[in-house]
C-alpha cells in the first residue's frame, strides 16, 4: 500500500507544505475517529476532477463501516458531489438525508481541510476534504460522555475547516505513550474550569491523590494541590493544565505518572476552551527508566572493557620492548596492535546509546595504529581512504576492524618494507553488501601466492567465519597487491530502536 506522501504527490497538485499539513492531521486521525464514533477518511483532489482517499481511520469505540481498506480508491459516486462542494466552498457540508452504505444507514459530513495561510488578505487554501461516516444502524440513547465526545469532535472539525487544527506549534515527538480519548478526557472552559471529566480521567487523578470530583474545579488548582512540594516541574505545565498551549507534559505524585496532552479549542480564532487527554503511563516510564539504566550499564561495561584492553596492549608493548628476541618482539607487537584495534571499537560503543558503530570513525582511528608500524619500520607510507563504510552493528565492527588492521599493516610492513609508497582503502557500500579494497604500491605477492602466516589465517577466519564474507588476494598489473573483501549486509537490522 502506498504511503500518504506517495498518494498525494501522485496527483501532482500538492507541495511540501500541503503534505506536512496532511501528515499532521492524519496523525490525529484516531483521535477524531474516537471522538466522533465514526470512520474518518481523508481525500485529496485528483487530476481528473475527482478525489482519492489517502488516509482512513476506524473508530475504537464503534463499529466500522469500511471493513476493507479504501485508501487509494476514488471517491464513490454517492459522496462525490458532497466532497466537491466542501472542497470548492471551503465550508462543512452535511448529507441532506441518511446515506446507505452496504445496506447500513449512515450520515456523512464533509469537512474542508484548510491549510494555514501565510499572506494577509489571501483566502486560506483548501487542500483536501475529511469525511466523517457515522453508522446510524447502532443508534441508541447517547450517554453524557458520548455527547461530550461528539461536541469535542464537532469543535475540532470546525477548527480543521478554519485552519486552526492541526496546530503547527504543537511538537510532533514520539507517539509512544501519547494519551488517547479513551484513556481519559477532560473538557475545560475558557477559564480552565472542568466542565466534563470521563471516568478514566477521574480514575487517573484519583491515583495521583485527588479524591474529589473534577467537574466544577479549576484543573490548574487541582494539579497544584496534588503535586509534591520542592520538586522541579516542567515549565510548560501551567500552560498545559490551563488549556492555553497544544503541548504534552507529565505530572508525578505518589509514585504515579500521568501524561497530559492539551488541545486548545478555538472558534473563529477565539479560544473557547480546551480538551485535556490524560493517560496513566507509570509502567511505561518505569520501563523507560530501566532501559536508560541498562544502556548506562552497557556503556560502562564497554568503557571498562576498553580500559582493560588498553592495559593489556600496554603490557604487551612493555614486554616487546624488554625482550631480546626479534621474533618474539615482532609477535608481541602484532598482538598489541590487534588488542588495540578491538579496544577502539569498545571505546566507540562506550560513547553512545546504540550498539551500532559509525565505522568510518573507527577506521580512521585504526589507521593511527598503522602509522606507528610505518614509523618503526622506517617506511614512508601514505594512506588514502575513499567511499564510506557507514554504520555497522558491533558484532560486525570488531572483526572487520581487526581484519583491516591486519591487511593495512601487512601492506605497510611487507609490501612497502623500507620504502616509500601508498596504501589505498576503498569502501563501496550498498544495501546488499559492503566491499572493501586494500591496495598498495609495494612489491606484490611473492611468486603470486598468498602467505600462510598467522595474520592471513586471522583475516580469513574473521571475514569468512565471523562475517560470512569472501576475501581475495591478487597482484596488480605492474606492482603492488590488492585485497578485496565482500561482506553481505542484506540481513542487517540497523534500526536504532
What pLDDT sits at residue 378?
64
- Same domain membership, residue 479 and residue 388: yes
Q: Which three cell numbers stand for residue 127?
A: 487542500
Q: Mind listing the pLDDT tens digit for each residue in 407-423?
A: 888 887 777 766 778 88
Domain boundary among 319, 336, 353: 353
- Same domain membership, residue 331 and residue 258: no
- Same domain membership, residue 9 and residue 148: yes
Q: Mind listing the pLDDT tens digit for each residue in 84-97?
A: 999 999 999 998 77
Q: What are phi and psi of 2, to 5 degrees?
A: -70, 155
What pLDDT sits at residue 358?
85
Cα separation, 248 vs 246, in Å, equals 7
SS3 186: strand
User: Does residue 250 have a pLDDT over 80?
Assistant: yes
- Same domain membership, residue 39 and residue 87: yes
- Same domain membership, residue 390 and residue 346: no
Domain boundary among 324, 353, 382: 353
- Same domain membership, residue 216 and residue 129: no
Q: Mind listing the pLDDT tens digit for each residue in 54-86?
A: 999 999 888 888 888 899 999 999 899 999 999
Mean pLDDT, residues 153-168: 93
What pLDDT sits at residue 204?
94
Mean pLDDT, residues 285-306: 78
Please say whether the beta carbons of 402 and 341 come within 8 A.
yes
What pLDDT sits at residue 188?
96
User: Residue 174 falls within a domain, yes or no?
Assistant: no
What pLDDT sits at residue 110?
96
Long-range CB contacts (within 8 A, 24+) of 199-203: 199/145, 200/278, 201/276, 201/278
Cα separation, 93 vs 84, in Å, equals 10
User: Does residue 379 have a pLDDT over 90?
Assistant: no
- Same domain membership, residue 289 and residue 245: no
User: Residue 166 falls within a domain, yes or no?
Assistant: no
User: Residue 75 falls within a domain, yes or no?
Assistant: yes
What pLDDT sits at residue 88?
94
Residue 131: closest CA among 151, 105, 113, 152: 113
What pLDDT sits at residue 391?
87
Mean pLDDT, residues 228-240: 77
Mean pLDDT, residues 446-456: 67
- Same domain membership, residue 478 and residue 368: yes
Non-local CB neighbours of 82 within 8 Å, separated by 6+ positions: 93, 95, 108, 110, 131
Provide the number of structural domains found in the chain: 4
CA distance readout (Å), 337 to 148, 321, 373: 71, 14, 9
User: Residue 129 falls within a domain, yes or no?
Assistant: yes
The least confident of 1-5, 124-128, 354-358, 447-451 is: 447-451
User: Does residue 249 have a pLDDT over 70?
Assistant: yes
Please say whether the beta carbons of 25 and 56 come within 8 A.
no
Which residues constitute the domain of residue 228? Answer: 181-280
Mean pLDDT, residues 105-130: 84
Cα separation, 306 vs 303, in Å, equals 5
What pLDDT sits at residue 1?
52
Helix, strand counts (H, E) of the chain: 13, 18
The least confident of 189-193, 218-222, 370-374, 438-442 is: 370-374
User: Residue 105 falls within a domain, yes or no?
Assistant: yes
User: Does residue 41 have a pLDDT over 50?
Assistant: yes
What pLDDT sits at residue 374?
54
Cα separation, 342 vs 349, in Å, equals 11
What is the pLDDT confidence band of residue 177, given thresholds at 50, 70 and 90? confident
- Same domain membership, residue 15 and residue 156: yes
Q: Which residue has the higher pLDDT, 329 or 430?
A: 430
What is the pLDDT confidence band of residue 494, given thresholds at 50, 70 and 90? low
Q: What is the mean pLDDT of the chain?
A: 84
What pLDDT sits at residue 90?
92
Q: How many CA atoms lie less than 13 Å away from 225 in the CB half-sphere?
A: 13
What pLDDT sits at residue 89?
93
User: Does residue 137 have a pLDDT over 90?
Assistant: no
User: Does residue 361 have a pLDDT over 90?
Assistant: no
Q: Which three cell numbers stand for residue 406?
A: 591486519
- Same domain membership, residue 36 and residue 14: yes
Q: Using a pLDDT cut of 90, give the percent of the chain over it.
A: 36
User: Does residue 282 have a pLDDT over 60?
Assistant: yes
Cα separation, 435 vs 486, in Å, equals 4
User: Does residue 14 have a pLDDT over 80?
Assistant: no
User: Residue 241 falls within a domain, yes or no?
Assistant: yes
- Same domain membership, residue 301 and residue 257: no
What pLDDT sits at residue 496?
45
What pLDDT sits at residue 56?
95
User: Does residue 206 have a pLDDT over 90?
Assistant: yes
User: Residue 171 falls within a domain, yes or no?
Assistant: no
User: Residue 167 falls within a domain, yes or no?
Assistant: no
- Same domain membership, residue 471 and residue 424: yes
Mean pLDDT, residues 267-285: 91
User: Does residue 114 have a pLDDT over 60?
Assistant: yes
Mean pLDDT, residues 131-142: 82
User: Does residue 2 have a pLDDT over 90?
Assistant: no
What is the pLDDT confidence band of residue 196, given thresholds at 50, 70 and 90? very high
What is the pLDDT confidence band of residue 497, given thresholds at 50, 70 and 90? very low
Amino acid at each position: 500500500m502506498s504511503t500518504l506522501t506517495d498518494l498525494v504527490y501522485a496527483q501532482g497538485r500538492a507541495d511540501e507544505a500541503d503534505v506536512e499539513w496532511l501528515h499532521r492531521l492524519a496523525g490525529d486521525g484516531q483521535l477524531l475517529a474516537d471522538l466522533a464514533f465514526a470512520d474518518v477518511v481523508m481525500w485529496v483532489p485528483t487530476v481528473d476532477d475527482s478525489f482519492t482517499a489517502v488516509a482512513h481511520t476506524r473508530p475504537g469505540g464503534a463499529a466500522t463501516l469500511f471493513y476493507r481498506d479504501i485508501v487509494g480508491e476514488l471517491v464513490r459516486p454517492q459522496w462525490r458531489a458532497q466532497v466537491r462542494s466542501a472542497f470548492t466552498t471551503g465550508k462543512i457540508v452535511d448529507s441532506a438525508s441518511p446515506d446507505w452504505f452496504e445496506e447500513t444507514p449512515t450520515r456523512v459530513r464533509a469537512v474542508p481541510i484548510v491549510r494555514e495561510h501565510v499572506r494577509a488578505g489571501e483566502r486560506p487554501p483548501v487542500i483536501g476534504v475529511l469525511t466523517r461516516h457515522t453508522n446510524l444502524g447502532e443508534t441508541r440513547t447517547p450517554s453524557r460522555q458520548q455527547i461530550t465526545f461528539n461536541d469535542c469532535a464537532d469543535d475540532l472539525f470546525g477548527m480543521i475547516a478554519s485552519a486552526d487544527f492541526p496546530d503547527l506549534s504543537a511538537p510532533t515527538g514520539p507517539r509512544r505513550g501519547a494519551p488517547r480519548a479513551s484513556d481519559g478526557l477532560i473538557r475545560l472552559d475558557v477559564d480552565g474550569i472542568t466542565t466534563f471529566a470521563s471516568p478514566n480521567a477521574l480514575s487517573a487523578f484519583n491515583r495521583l491523590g485527588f479524591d474529589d470530583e473534577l467537574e466544577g474545579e479549576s484543573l490548574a488548582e487541582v494539579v497544584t494541590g496534588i503535586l509534591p512540594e520542592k520538586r522541579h516541574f516542567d515549565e510548560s505545565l501551567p500552560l498545559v493544565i490551563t488549556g492555553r498551549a497544544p503541548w504534552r507534559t507529565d505530572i508525578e505524585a505518589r509514585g504515579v505518572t500521568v501524561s497530559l496532552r492539551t488541545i486548545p479549542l478555538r472558534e473563529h480564532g477565539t479560544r473557547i476552551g480546551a480538551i485535556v487527554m490524560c493517560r496513566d503511563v507509570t509502567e511505561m516510564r518505569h520501563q523507560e527508566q530501566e532501559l536508560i539504566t541498562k544502556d548506562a550499564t552497557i556503556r560502562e561495561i564497554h568503557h571498562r572493557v576498553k580500559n582493560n584492553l588498553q592495559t593489556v596492549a600496554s603490557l604487551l608493548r612493555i614486554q616487546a620492548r624488554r625482550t631480546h628476541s626479534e621474533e618474539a618482539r615482532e609477535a608481541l607487537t602484532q598482538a598489541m596492535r590487534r588488542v588495540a584495534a578491538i579496544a577502539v571499537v569498545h571505546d566507540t560503543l562506550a560513547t553512545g546509546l546504540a550498539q551500532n558503530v559509525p565505522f568510518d570513525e573507527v577506521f580512521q582511528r585504526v589507521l593511527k595504529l598503522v602509522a606507528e608500524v610505518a614509523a618503526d619500520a622506517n617506511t614512508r607510507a601514505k594512506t588514502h581512504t575513499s567511499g564510506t563504510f557507514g554504520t555497522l552493528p558491533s558484532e560486525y565492527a570488531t572483526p572487520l576492524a581487526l581484519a583491516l588492521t591486519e591487511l593495512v599493516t601487512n601492506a605497510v610492513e611487507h609490501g612497502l618494507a623500507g620504502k616509500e609508497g601508498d596504501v589505498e582503502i576503498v569502501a563501496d557500500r550498498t544495501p546488499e553488501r559492503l566491499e572493501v579494497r586494500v591496495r598498495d604500491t609495494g612489491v606484490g605477492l611473492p611468486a603470486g601466492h598468498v602467505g600462510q602466516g598467522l595474520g592471513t589465517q586471522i583475516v580469513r577466519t574473521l571475514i569468512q567465519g565471523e562475517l560470512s564474507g569472501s576475501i581475495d588476494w591478487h597482484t596488480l598489473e605492474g606492482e603492488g597487491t590488492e585485497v578485496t573483501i565482500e561482506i553481505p549486509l542484506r540481513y542487517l537490522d540497523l534500526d536504532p530502536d
